[in-house]
């Protein structure tokens, strides 16, 4: 039987690696996508993702550079909405890869309420950025359990290190985002140009 394809948003941290492993175990064909922020954190997150892809025998890794997009959100949009805007962007870019790969799903490593931006209301607004079904295998799992999973599957050492996803984020992110307000924030920038710039940076790393 043909496997279902799913694009995994792979950060290199504990959560997304575990999420990808769990759905790989369930029979999904995993297409890992790393959205890098090289300007601010360097290339070590890419290296982590390559190691995780090798660990699970994923044949390739898609990489896009989103550093300029994130800086645009900081410069042009209400800062408290940064994480919601960022995660909507991640889903839009994952959708581009899903279309390219003829995949049906997107996978994220989010868990409910692990950080203040991951409230039910925020997640609802974020997921409206894509037509694809978003799978969240860790949604009800706490951080300690996720880290224990990473030890069991052999990604703990790879994923260890500082959390960098919030490097440009606000101290007090919005927790009850409103879709109309989020869309008005996206209208402040040239969104289609921003997407095109990210897509034009696409690299495909052959893991084999």
In this structure, the dihedral spanned by the alpha carbons of residues 50, 53, 54 and 59, taken in order and rounded to 10 degrees, is -110
Confidence of residue 190 (pLDDT cuts 50, 70, 90): very high
pLDDT category, 200, cuts 50, 70, 90?
very high
* Distance, CA of 157 to CA of 150 (rounded, Å): 9
With cut-offs at 50, 70 and 90, classify the pLDDT of residue 118. confident
Strands (DSSP E) along 19-173, which ranges? 29-36, 60-65, 105-107, 133-135
Q: Give the model confidence (pLDDT) of 32-41 as tens digits.
A: 999 998 766 6
Q: Are 185 and 81 in contact (CB under 8 A)?
A: yes
Question: pTM for this one?
Answer: 0.93
Average the pLDDT over 114-128 and give the result: 87
Q: How far apart are CA 28 and CA 63, in angstroms?
A: 20
Question: 61 near 32, Cβ under 8 Å?
Answer: yes
For the cut 90, the answer to whether the pLDDT of residue 99 exceeds it is yes
pLDDT at 110 over 70: yes
C-beta neighbour count of 206 within 10 angstroms: 7
pLDDT at residue 191 is higher than 90: yes
Give the C-alpha separation, 52 to 17, whole Å: 7
DSSP designation for 174: -
What is the share, in percent, of the chain residues with pLDDT greater than 70?
A: 93
Mean confidence (pLDDT) of the chain: 92
Q: What is the pLDDT of residue 38?
A: 73
Residue matched to tokens 């040239």: 190
Does residue 165 carry a pLDDT above 70? no
- Residue, of 112 and 62, whose pLDDT is higher: 62
Rounded Cα distance between 10 and 28, Å, is 15
186 close to 85: Cβ distance less than 8 angstroms: yes
Tell me which of 195 and 163 has the higher pLDDT: 195
Give pLDDT tens digits for 3-34: 899 999 999 999 999 999 999 999 999 999 99
User: What local confidence, expressed as pLDDT, does residue 44 receive?
Assistant: 83
The residue to which tokens 């999904």 are assigned: 28
CATH superfamily label, 5-206: HUPs (3.40.50.620)
- Cα distances (angstroms) measured from residue 126 to each of 24, 92, 122, 129, 142: 24, 10, 6, 6, 21
């Amino acid at each position: 039987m043909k496997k279902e394809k799913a694009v995994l948003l792979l950060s290199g941290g504990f959560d997304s690696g575990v999420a990808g492993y769990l759905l790989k175990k369930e029979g999904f064909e995993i297409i890992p996508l790393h959205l890098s922020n090289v300007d601010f954190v360097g290339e070590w997150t890419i290296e982590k993702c390559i190691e995780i892809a090798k660990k699970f025998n994923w044949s390739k890794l898609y990489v896009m550079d989103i550093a300029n997009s994130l800086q645009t959100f900081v410069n042009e949009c209400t800062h408290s909405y940064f994480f919601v805007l960022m995660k909507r962007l991640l889903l839009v870019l994952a959708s581009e890869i899903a279309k390219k790969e003829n995949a049906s799903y997107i996978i994220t490593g989010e868990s409910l309420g692990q950080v203040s931006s991951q409230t039910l209301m925020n997640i609802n607004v974020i997921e409206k950025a894509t037509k694809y079904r978003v799978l969240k295998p860790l949604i009800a799992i706490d951080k300690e359990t996720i880290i224990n999973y990473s030890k069991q599957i052999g990604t703990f050492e790879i994923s260890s290190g500082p959390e960098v996803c919030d490097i440009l984020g606000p101290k007090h992110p919005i927790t009850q985002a409103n879709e109309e307000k989020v869309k008005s924030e996206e209208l402040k920038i040239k969104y289609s140009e921003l997407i095109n710039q990210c897509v034009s940076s696409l690299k495909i790393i052959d893991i084999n």
